[in-house]
Chain A
C-alpha cells in the first residue's frame, strides 16, 4: 500500500470508472480481495526490522544493537543541551533494555526531590511521599525501555494512558486502563528483578528493578539503535512526580511537557522507527499515545555539546569508570546471556525444543540459565512436575507464536510475551519468553501467576486478614478487603472456599468503581473509594508492598522473602520456598489463571507482554491445548464449576478469561476459549 502507483491508476476519474465497473461484479465471493498489503493497516512499516522480532540481538550494520558509551554520552549531552536551552535544569537517566543505568546526571539547579502527587487531592498510598528525582528519572527511563520492543514503542505517556480508572482517561463510565496496576511492577522488593552492579563502569544481567515501579509521568522514552530497541531515557525537571489526569485534551498540562521535549531531544538519532509509535497501535479501536512533543518544540537545535557530571546512586548506579561519563549498554538477548536473557539452547541444552520458534530464557548474566523447568514444591504429592512444566511452557509459547499480536507493528505478527508457571506457594516452576517480548512482562507474568495462585487458595482470606500492617482503606485494615469482598460477592466464604480466581476476575473487583468504570459507584472490594484512590494508591495491591517501597527509598535492604512482608507485619515467608506467596508484588490485570490437578489447586500461570486479551488467551489456550506428558491426573484449567465467573456480584458475572476477536494467525476461528 505504501508504494506509488502509476498516475493513471490513482487518478480519481479512473478510480471512479473502476468503481462503477466493480458495481456490476456480482460473482459469489465478491469483487474484492484483501484490503491491505504487507503493511496491513495502512501504517507504514518503513524502518521496522521484522527480523528483530525473532533475533533482537542480531547486528545491524555490523554493530550490535546496543548503546555504546559514545551513544550514551551523545544522548545525555543532547538532553542536557536542550534542558539548558529551555532553562529547565534536569535530572537525566539513560538505561539499556534490561535496565542497567548507563548514565545519570543532575544538572545544577535541578530539583533534588520530588513529591508524588496525582493532583487528585487525596492523601493515601504513596501520595505526598517525597522521592529523590534521580530515582524518578530512572523509573521513567526504565518504563520507556521495558514497555517497548522491536514491534512497539511506548513511553511513560503511554503508561499514563493505560493505568487510569478509565480508558481512555477522562471518558466517563468506561472501564479502567488495560494495564491497570502495572505501575506497581519491577519493584525494588521483587525477587525477580536484579540489583545494579556494585562495580563502577560495570553492567550486569537484568531485568533490573525500578526504584519507583513504572512511571506515568511524561518524560520517559525508549531509545533505539539503528532501529532496534536498545534502552530508554528519563527526564525530571520538576519537583513533582505525577500522572496526567486528562491526557486527551491537553498537551503537557500535567507539567511534564518540558521533560518530554528534553527526552525527545536527547533521543534524537536514537528514536523509535516512526511506524512503532504507540499512536499507530489501536487497542480495542483506541490508539495509544506516545508523545505530545515534536522537534518543533525544541528550544535549540539538537547538539551533543557541553558537559555533564555523572551522579552515582546507591543500589541503582555505581557510576561510570573513572574518567568516563557513561557505560556501554548490554545487547539484549545476546547468546552469551550477559543481558540476563538468552536464546534457549545457547547456554546449555534446549529447554523447550518443541517450540516452533527459538524461545528465550533467563540467565544470571554470568552464563547460567535460570528458571528452567523444575518440580514444584507444593502441594506435596500433587505439585506440578518439571516434565509438566516443560510441556506446559512449550504449549504456552507455541500458543503465543500463533496468536495475533495486539500491540505490535507490523500487524499479523505473533504475540510476544513472558510466561511464568508457579506452584501453589508461588515458587517458580518455569519462566521463559518469546524473543522480543517487552521486558516488563517478565516480572509482571510472575505477579499475575502468583496473584492467581494466592487468591485461589483456601487460606487466602485468612492470610490477608492476618496482615497487621496498615491499609489505605477506610478502616485501615487488610481484613476490610476480605469483609468487603464477602459483601460485594455475596460469598461469605470468599477467598476461602476454593474458588478459582483468574487475574481477569481479580481485576474485576480491584478497581475504584464496581462495576469497573461506572462513575459514582462504590469501589471493587480490593480497591478504594475514588476519593482515596489514585495511580499511587490502588488499594490492596499497593498496601501489600507499600512498606517495601518506602524501605527502598530509605535504603533498607530487601528481605530475602521478597515483597509483601511489610517488615514482619505482612505475609510470612512460606515453608516451601522461604518467600512470601506474592514475592514480587500483586498484579491486578488480565493474564493469569490458576492451575488444577483435578479439583486440587497446584499452581498458576501468568502471561504478560502483549494485549491483555492476548495474555489471557495464551494462558487459557496454552493450558487447554497442553497434553500432560505423565500418567495420572493431568494438570488443567480450573473446573468450570469452581471458576470465579460463577460469582455475579451486583448482578453481573465476573469474567474468567477474556479472549480476543480473530485471535489466531493460522485460523479464522473467532471464539476459541
Chain B
C-alpha cells in the first residue's frame, strides 16, 4: 500500500514538474481540474506531491525495518494464533501533520467543545424520530427542554415460540383421555410468548462521558403467553381447565430515580443513588441474584473507575406467575436482600476484574399459604410436611471476569451459610436447621479468529441428609445464569417437574441449580436440594459477521440424590442427569441488535438418574414416550 502511494505521488510530482515546460500537458491538467494553473501553482503542487512521496518512502522504509526479512510481504499484519512480530527499536513513523494522541490522565489541558447537537444544528442536519442511528431527540441526542434535559425512548418486541418435550405427569385422578393408567403421560409443552417493552427515560445532564445528574426511568412491559401441555392439571390446579392456558399481564420492570450525588474526581468518579424498581446483577454472570426489583442502591466508583462498589437493599416484589413480570397489584413479599460488593479492575492481572460480595437474604414467609395464579400452593412448597419456614442466609463470594493473556475467564464462588426456622423434611425436634452450602463455577474460553471455544464447570452443593439439623444444599435468591450456553441449554431453559415427588421442580426455568423449588419467581429458596455438577465444552462460531453459531455439550450430575430419594420414597437414584446438547443460530441482518433472529434447540440424553425418576424408556402402554427430551426456541427480537 505504502509502495503504491509512493509511486503514485512520485508520478504526480513528475507530471506537475513536466507540465511547467509542456504546454499541452498543462492544458490537459487545466481541463481535468477545471481551473487555470499558474507556474507557482504547478510548482507548489509538484512540491506537495514530492513531499507526500517522501513521506510514503520513509513510511515504507520504516515498515521494512520493522518486518525485516522474517515476514516478507506480510505487510505487518498480525494473525490470531500466531506470535506477534518482533518489535525492534525503530523510530515510529510520524505523520508531521497529525495531532498528538490524547495522553491518559493528563492534568488540565481540557478544551471546551460545543455540545454535539449544536455542532450538528449548525450543519443544518435534520432528524427522523424513527431513525435511532442518526440525530434523534427521542434517543437523547438533543435536549427536550432547557440545556440538559433529555428523553430516551426505547421499545422492544420479543416473540418466542417454544415447543418442548419435557416430562409431564398424568393427573392423579383425572386424565385428558381414556386409558391413561400411569404416572407419566403425554410429554410436551408448547409456549408462545410475546413481550413488548417500552422504556422511557428522562435524563438531566450530558449523556456522553459525564454521568447524568438525574435520571427517571419507567419501563412497563406487556406480556401475552399461550401454553399447551400434554396433560390436564398441569397448567392449572383444576384439571377441568384443560390442556391450554392463555394469559396476559402488564408489569413494571423499571421505575426508578437515579440521583447523581457527587463527582469525586475529574475523571467523573462518582457516588450515585438509585431508588425504585431497577435491574441489578450481583455478580458477572447472574449466578446469585439478577432481577429487576424494588430497591435502594448506592453505587459509584473511585480511582478512575478502577474501583466500583454497590450497597443495595431490595424488597422483593411479587412476580406474576405466568409472565414473570413484577406485579405491583400484590403486597410486596416478606423477603429482602442486602448486598454489598466491590469490584477492582486489573486484579490480579490487567484485563481481569475481581469482585468480592456479601449478600444477605431474609425471608419471613413461613407463616403464609400463598397460591399462584394457577391455583398451586407455592409457599410453602408442597413437599415434606407442608409447614412453612423462615430463613436467613448469607452468601460470601468471590467473582472474577476478564482474561489472562489470550484466555478469557469467568470464575464465581460462594459460601452459603444461615439458618432456617423449620426443616420441611423433618429435623430432630422440629427445631429448624442451619444452612451451609457452596457454589463454584469457572468458564475459560479462548478465541481463534472467528471461533471461540469454551470449557464450563460448575458445582452447587446438595443436601446429603435432608432430615438433619444441617441443610447442605445451595440455592440462590434469583439466578439468571449466563453460563454454559445459558438458555440454549435444555437443562437451564426447561423446568422439569419432580413428578411423584411433590409440588416442586428439579430445576427452574432459566436456572442451572437443581434446587427443588415450587417456583423460581414466587417460591422460597430451598436448601434441601440435590445440588448439581456441570461440566461442558462449547464453541461460538461467527460464520458471518451477522451470523453466529453457538454449541454446548454439557454433562450434568446431581451432587447428591438423597433429597430426591426421600421425596420419591425411592432408594438408589443415581446421580447422572445426562448429556445436555444444544446449539443456537443467531442472525442479525442489520449487524446490530435492532433485529435479532434466534433459533436454538437443546436435547437431554437422559442418564441413569433421570431414567430412575422419569419415563424415558418408552411407554409400555399408550404413548411412545421413549427417547430424549428436547426443547426448541425460535425467537425474534425487534429493538428501537
Contacts and interface: CB of A to CB of B under 8 A. Distances in A.
Given A19-B440, A248-B387, A285-B383, A25 B535 contact: yes
A42 B464 contact: yes
Contact of B179 (A19, A285, A640, A658): A640
A117 B387 CA distance: 26
Interface string B422-436: 001110010000001
A1 interface: yes
Given A23-B459, A29-B576, A658-B181, A36 B171 contact: no
Interface string B8-49: 000000000000000000000000000000000000000000
Contacts of A654: 173-175
A672 interface: yes
B479 interface: no
Contacts of B584: none
A40 B565 contact: yes
B429 A34 contact: no
A292 to B, nearest CB: 9
Interface in A652-668: 652-662, 668
A31 B184 contact: no
A658 B175 CA distance: 10
A329 interface: no
A462 interface: no
Contact of B382 (A42, A285, A410): A285
Contacts of A645: 175, 178-180
Interface in B562-591: 562-579
Contact of A673 (B177, B182, B614): B182
B175 A411 contact: no
Nearest to A283: B569
A672 to B, nearest CB: 5
Contact of B384 (A287, A404, A504, A670): A287
A165 B563 CA distance: 28
Given A25-B535, A672-B620, A285 B567 contact: yes
Contacts of B7: none
A412 interface: yes
Interface in B125-170: 170
Contact of B425 (A15, A30, A287, A657): A287
Given A34-B573, A282-B568, A508 B174 contact: yes
Interface residues of B, number: 98
Looking at B534, B566, B614, which has the most chain A CB atoms within 10 Å of its CB? B566
A646 interface: yes
Contacts of B383: 282, 285-286
B171 A655 contact: yes
A171 B172 contact: no
Contact of A662 (B466, B535, B579, B613): B613
Contact of A640 (B178, B562, B576, B607): B178
Contact of B173 (A26, A35, A40, A515): A515
Interface stretch (A54-62, A172-180, A449-457): A172-180
A282 B566 contact: yes
Given A16-B438, A19-B461, A175-B173, A36 B571 contact: yes
Contacts of A34: 561, 572-575
Interface string A283-296: 11111010000100
B173 A508 contact: yes
B510 interface: no
Interface in B435-491: 436, 438, 440, 457-459, 461, 464-468
Given A29-B607, A411-B571, A661-B613, A646 B178 contact: yes
B566 A43 contact: yes
A606 B273 CA distance: 70
A607 to B, nearest CB: 15
A613 interface: yes
B567 A670 contact: no
A375 interface: no
Given A35-B530, A287-B425, A673-B621, A282 B440 contact: no
A410 B569 CA distance: 9
B502 A652 contact: no
Contacts of A279: 385, 426
Contacts of A23: 440, 457-459, 533-535
B253 interface: no
Contacts of B502: 282, 284-286
B213 interface: no
Contacts of B440: 16, 19-20, 23
A280 B426 contact: yes
Interface string B606-627: 0111011111110111010100
Contact of A24 (B535, B578, B621): B535
B465 to A, nearest CB: 5
A632 interface: no
Interface residues of A, number: 83
A34 B558 CA distance: 10
B392 to A, nearest CB: 20
Interface string A5-27: 00000001001100110111110
B178 A168 contact: no
A653 B565 contact: no
Contacts of B530: 35
A594 to B, nearest CB: 15
B409 to A, nearest CB: 15
Contact of A22 (B172, B183, B533, B561): B533
B465 A411 contact: no
Looking at B382, B458, B569, B574, which has the most chain A CB atoms within 10 Å of its CB? B569
Given A35-B558, A653-B178, A670-B615, A658 B173 contact: yes
B229 to A, nearest CB: 14
Interface string A368-408: 00000000000000000000000000000000000011110
A504 B502 CA distance: 20
A108 to B, nearest CB: 35
B176 A1 contact: no
A45 B177 CA distance: 42
A670 B614 contact: yes
Contact of A670 (B182, B232, B465, B504): B182
Nearest to A656: B181
Nearest to B556: A30
A268 to B, nearest CB: 17
Given A1-B464, A171-B377, A279-B426, A670 B533 contact: no
A40 B620 contact: no
B535 A168 contact: no
B434 to A, nearest CB: 13
A290 to B, nearest CB: 10
B573 A36 contact: yes
A669 interface: yes
Given A30-B557, A171-B369, A515-B174, A650 B574 contact: no
Interface in B345-402: 369, 371, 375-377, 382-387
Interface string B284-307: 000000000000000000000000
Nearest to A667: B617
Given A26-B535, A35-B560, A286-B382, A412 B571 contact: yes
Contacts of B424: 287
A659 B386 contact: no
Given A42-B465, A285-B501, A643-B179, A668 B232 contact: no
A41 interface: yes
Contacts of B612: 662, 668
Contacts of A668: 611-612, 617
Closest 4 CB pairs of A and B: A285-B502, A40-B571, A32-B575, A35-B561
Given A29-B607, A643-B178, A656-B178, 18 more contacts: A26-B535, A32-B557, A32-B558, A34-B574, A40-B572, A42-B464, A171-B386, A282-B384, A285-B500, A285-B503, A286-B386, A508-B174, A659-B182, A668-B612, A670-B182, A671-B615, A672-B620, A673-B620
8 contacts: A12-B436, A285-B504, A656-B179, A660-B500, A661-B614, A668-B617, A671-B184, A672-B620
